[in-house]
Amino acid sequence: MDQKPSPREMGYSLAIAQTGVEMVLPTILGFYLDSWLETTPWITIVAAVLGFTAGLVHLIAILRQKDRDESSDMKPPP
């Protein structure tokens, strides 16, 4: 178990963590904007939906890139 992760694996881990932040941060900002503007809960709801959508789009893009990387690794060199 002394094997270090490859740079590619570290990149995937960082991208997935970034996706989590993309999903949570808009909701938190929406909550504070709602508190400040006294519009509760509308900005929070909109921000949560936008953050969730952006996170899913980013996650799908990461998975597609991972599939492309893995399929290119499996092809024999010319």
The answer to whether position 73 is within a domain reads no
Q: Which two tokens stand for residue 8?
A: 């590619």
Q: Is the pTM of this model over 0.75?
A: yes
Which residues are CB-neighbours of 39 under 8 A, at least 6 positions away?
33
Percent of the chain surpassing pLDDT 70: 94
> Over 70: is that where the pLDDT of 37 sits?
yes
The answer to whether position 72 is within a domain reads no
Task: Quote the pLDDT of residue 11.
Answer: 87
* CA gap 72, 2 in Å, rounded: 27
Domain count, the chain: 1
The answer to whether position 9 is within a domain reads no
Longest C-alpha distance within the chain, in Å?
63
The answer to whether position 34 is within a domain reads yes
Neighbours of 21 (CB within 10 A): 11
> Over 80: is that where the pLDDT of 2 sits?
no
- For 35-62, what is the mean pLDDT? 95
The answer to whether position 10 is within a domain reads no
Per the structure, the complete domain to which residue 56 belongs is given by 18-63
